[in-house]
Structure 1
Amino acid sequence: MRRSVVTGIGVIAPGGGSREEFWQRIVGGKPAIRRISRFDPEPFRSQIAAECDFDPFAYGLTPQEVRRMDRFALLALACADEAFADSELDRSSLDHERMGVSLGSAVGSTIRLEDEYVVASNGGKDWVVDPTHVGPFLHHALVPSSAATELAVRYGAQGPAAVISTGCTSGIDAIGHAHTLIQDDEADIVIAGASDAPISPITVACFDAIRATSPRNADPEEASRPFDADRQGFVLGEGAAVLIVEELEHAVARSARIYCEITGFAARANSFHMTGLRPDGFELSEAIMDAMDRARLNPEDLDYISAHGSGTKQNDRHETAAYKRALGEAARHIPISSIKSVIGHSLGAIGSIEMAACALAIQRGLVPPTANLTTADPECDLDYTPGVAREVTVDHALSAGSGFGGFQSAMVFSRLEGK
């Protein structure tokens, strides 16, 4: 069986414009959440978000690229540049036919599509729109696969390229797809990760309608409270993470620095409800057990779990039940944390950001905390690492995710033997 490893990481997240800034932010447990600044949020129930201070020009992107692409695609390109540089791959010696792209996104070019519609419809007043009023690159925004194309063109990747869109599990699933491409001998290198920039009026209105986001507008830094008894919903975020996923022997042959190995991945659908979750956590627990089986691990082998931990009442209880069902008594002894308490919920991007956190936790022996966890929900009675980062030797890390539509995914990263 061909094995896949992570040799490069790039991250842009709220409060952190690079891999190192992101890591320092999450281990410091200081939430990067504030009143929405991209538009006037006053009409909305939830008026807060975790925004990235992202200037694409500061990352070397050109005016042409900025005009052509939505914010989510620009975030992906900037992260890929950091990941590629981190991997120290020599572009001149690559076999481009053996390089692929696997990019996840839940909502794609939301900002560009909404902005163009507002212009074309005269602020929503005209039912019949005039297409001459829209920009020349609207078709790029309509087709989510354009972001994977941009990455492929930038790096000359001529192998498989795809956008994976499975709601909030898109980031995990995109890395899982990369892992499968390498196992199946379809590629030796895959640029893999996810990006979303959903902070727009239409997105905020959608989540307001189902009361999924927190209305704690007066104290935004304390609004994201996974597993806390006083939680009131998740906080919308944005961001991206890109990993360089490489076949093990290919990486060893060039003496690459290896963060970790991808040892297990599994996904399930709950076939239950578009936004609801079964309280017993059955499908998520099945995905966790399958991923653990593929990694050939027992529950007591796990050293850290990066939780989905969205901060909604049903998710946190569902997830706690899933860990207990999948891991048994060992679930009570494994440090678990939710970095959404610090950087919010960036929808499809968050899974790849959480996998980046797992890779860094393995490398650095430190588990980030769950911020704002002051009074635990009695039904969420596992070790959710409240408040302060913890020094832990992490040889095996699990991340689990749930997405609207009934998607449930799990992935295991492991320290490479001898590293």
Structure 2
Amino acid sequence: MNRSVAITGIGVVAPGGVGKKAFWDLLVSGRTATRTISFFDPSRFRSQVAAEVDFDPQRSGLSPREARRLDRAAQFAVVSARECMADSGLEFVELDPHRTGVSVGSAVGGTTGLEREYLVLSDSGRLWEVDSDYVSPHLFDAFVPSSLAAEVAWTVGAEGPATVVSTGCTSGLDSVGYARDLIAEGTVDVMIAGAADTPISPIAVSCFDAIKATTPRNDDPEHASRPFDRTRNGFVLAEGAAMFVLEELEHARARGAHVYGVIGGYATRCNAYHMTGLRPDGHEMAEAIRHSLDQARLNPDLVDYVNAHGSGTKQNDRHETAAFKETLGQHAYEVPISSIKSMVGHSLGAIGSIEIAACALAMENGAVPPTANLHEPDPECDLDYVPNEAREHGVDAVLSVGSGFGGFQSAMVITREETTR
């Protein structure tokens, strides 16, 4: 791969605010967007907190027909895609549509729409035999995850590759990594890439309840997500989306585009070990980190910021800490590391892309977002996890990592400019 890939547009729909500015303002303030679930009555569930998006489809630019037709995840994807397109300044009508593609990540696709329609058809589960006359004509789009990519492709006018990547909680990293590879190998020149997930629904909440992955800290929602803290006891479910314009670097330079960063390296691994369990040594994540650094030709001690997966489960945070020590050596103790899930929760397949947005904006603004709610550091997590307050810090190279159910481990390196260091 000899073509460099630039990020030239960012769009975000996240808890705490719609749009990249509101998202960044939340992060640098150290505020949390976690609260008691308001979408339905959560009282029967073990975990009753989530990071919800205050989202009005029509205020966000969707027509009443689009709002009716699109599942919530698709709405998020389209709105964030429109923002990143506008942010890039790229005239998509002037592009070769066959060299423009789409890559969208999602872990649970149209869960919100599917559950809503099931409740209508079954009269909230009362009926075993249902009357198809009551079904929405748009149910099929929620049932088929590929509709996410199709909707974004129609929005952009892209006629090149259109793909949905679903690798659990690494989907948002992997979808952008896949798009980067397509540009680097010369298949396309421009990709709209990112992820969207809207899993705050009774079925998703009950699934995570069953395995005790989410926090039961219901009496203090704002402080429920506590990555790397000794008192952490599970993650906070969330929703959201982030989309990017990726283009070949010379293509971007030729049109005078603003470049947020260059995706220098990307790698993914599977531990082939356990559906939800992680080995404490962090070896698989370390392998992904090492390979992404090698691709970027970046010395580990030149990483300026690490955006951690930092879910707030006991095993994940120990696993990551070990992986950082294995790959970064002594520099692991010196580089600032943080988890934005402490503020915006864990939006499953979407969070990897939302974290890429945080990385690009950290480079843009010369600041590192904090790990909120980190008051009692776990002695086993003894690195610089930037507790509670954002930190001014020059950022020229970022490492972002993700870990997903199924054993997926992914890492991406983003640099300010195309350099070999």
> For residue 349 of structure 1, what is the aligned residue in structure 2?
350
Q: Single out whichever of 69-78 and 124-133 deviates more from structure 2.
A: 124-133
> For residue 256 of structure 2, what is the aligned residue in structure 1?
255
Which consecutive segments of 4 or more residues in structure 1 shift more than 4 A? none
State yes or no: 1:313 paired with 2:314.
yes
Using the alignment, how far apart are the partners of 2:153 and 2:244 within structure 1?
A: 14
User: If the length of structure 2 is used for normalisation, what is the TM-score?
Assistant: 0.98
Q: Contact (CA 8 Å) 2:374, 2:387: kept in 1 or not?
A: yes
State yes or no: 1:278 paired with 2:279.
yes
> For residue 206 of structure 2, what is the aligned residue in structure 1?
205
Using the alignment, how far apart are the partners of 1:122 and 1:232 within structure 2?
A: 36
> For residue 71 of structure 1, what is the aligned residue in structure 2?
72
> For residue 379 of structure 2, what is the aligned residue in structure 1?
378
Q: Contact (CA 8 Å) 2:4, 2:418: kept in 1 or not?
A: no
Q: Secondary structure at the match of 2:59?
A: helix
Using the alignment, how far apart are the partners of 1:285 and 1:365 within structure 2?
A: 26
Using the alignment, how far apart are the partners of 1:417 and 1:317 within structure 2?
A: 33
1:246, distance to aligned residue in structure 2 (A): 0.5
Using the alignment, how far apart are the partners of 1:304 and 1:397 within structure 2?
A: 5
Q: Secondary structure at the match of 1:32?
A: coil
Q: Contact (CA 8 Å) 2:180, 2:263: kept in 1 or not?
A: yes
Amino acid at match of 2:183: I
1:131, distance to aligned residue in structure 2 (A): 2.2
Q: Contact (CA 8 Å) 2:93, 2:157: kept in 1 or not?
A: no
Instruction: Please give the per-residue CA displacement for 1:65-100, whole angstroms capped at 9, x wherever unaligned.
Output: 111111000001000111000000113322111110
Q: How many residues align?
A: 418
Q: Secondary structure at the match of 2:387?
A: coil
> For residue 23 of structure 1, what is the aligned residue in structure 2?
24
Amino acid at match of 1:138: L
Instruction: Please give the per-residue CA displacement for 1:116-160, whole angstroms capped at 9, x wherever unaligned.
Output: 111112211222333222111111011000011011111110110
CA RMSD of aligned residues (A): 0.9
Instruction: Please give the per-residue CA displacement for 1:238-266, whole angstroms capped at 9, x wherever unaligned.
Output: 00000100101111111101000000000
> For residue 32 of structure 1, what is the aligned residue in structure 2?
33
Using the alignment, how far apart are the partners of 2:128 and 2:377 within structure 1?
A: 49
Instruction: Please give the per-residue CA displacement for 1:209-243, whole angstroms capped at 9, x wherever unaligned.
Output: 11111111111000000000001100001000001
State yes or no: 1:325 paired with 2:314.
no
Q: Secondary structure at the match of 1:411?
A: strand
Amino acid at match of 2:266: F
> For residue 340 of structure 1, what is the aligned residue in structure 2?
341
Q: How does 1:18-417 map to 2 (within 5 A)?
A: 18-417=19-418
Q: Secondary structure at the match of 2:65?
A: helix
Using the alignment, how far apart are the partners of 2:36 and 2:396 within structure 1?
A: 38
Amino acid at match of 1:178: A
Using the alignment, how far apart are the partners of 2:369 and 2:116 within structure 1?
A: 37
Amino acid at match of 2:231: D
Using the alignment, how far apart are the partners of 1:236 and 1:55 within structure 2?
A: 20
User: If the length of structure 1 is used for normalisation, what is the TM-score?
Assistant: 0.99
Using the alignment, how far apart are the partners of 1:370 and 1:60 within structure 2?
A: 32
Amino acid at match of 1:43: R
Q: Single out whichever of 89-98 and 112-121 deviates more from structure 2.
A: 89-98
Q: Contact (CA 8 Å) 2:262, 2:418: kept in 1 or not?
A: no
Q: Single out whichever of 60-69 and 361-370 deviates more from structure 2.
A: 60-69
Q: Secondary structure at the match of 1:56?
A: coil
Amino acid at match of 1:223: A
Amino acid at match of 2:151: E
Amino acid at match of 2:42: P
Q: Contact (CA 8 Å) 2:105, 2:196: kept in 1 or not?
A: yes
Instruction: Please give the per-residue CA displacement for 1:3-37, whole angstroms capped at 9, x wherever unaligned.
Output: 10000001111002110010010111110111111
Q: Contact (CA 8 Å) 2:113, 2:142: kept in 1 or not?
A: yes
Instruction: Please give the per-residue CA displacement for 1:297-319, whole angstroms capped at 9, x wherever unaligned.
Output: 11101000000000000100011
Using the alignment, how far apart are the partners of 1:90 and 1:150 within structure 2?
A: 19
Instruction: Please give the per-residue CA displacement for 1:399-419, whole angstroms capped at 9, x wherever unaligned.
Output: 00000011100000001159x
Amino acid at match of 2:265: G
Using the alignment, how far apart are the partners of 1:12 and 1:108 within structure 2?
A: 16
Q: Secondary structure at the match of 2:409?
A: strand
Amino acid at match of 1:239: G
Q: Contact (CA 8 Å) 2:306, 2:398: kept in 1 or not?
A: yes
Q: Secondary structure at the match of 2:12?
A: strand
Using the alignment, how far apart are the partners of 1:128 and 1:164 within structure 2?
A: 34
Unaligned runs of 5+ in 1: none
Using the alignment, how far apart are the partners of 1:169 and 1:411 within structure 2?
A: 11
Using the alignment, how far apart are the partners of 1:293 and 1:105 within structure 2?
A: 28
Using the alignment, how far apart are the partners of 1:169 and 1:417 within structure 2?
A: 25
Amino acid at match of 1:306: N
Q: Contact (CA 8 Å) 2:363, 2:416: kept in 1 or not?
A: yes
Instruction: Please give the per-residue CA displacement for 1:334-366, whole angstroms capped at 9, x wherever unaligned.
Output: 100000000000000000000011111111110
Amino acid at match of 1:341: S
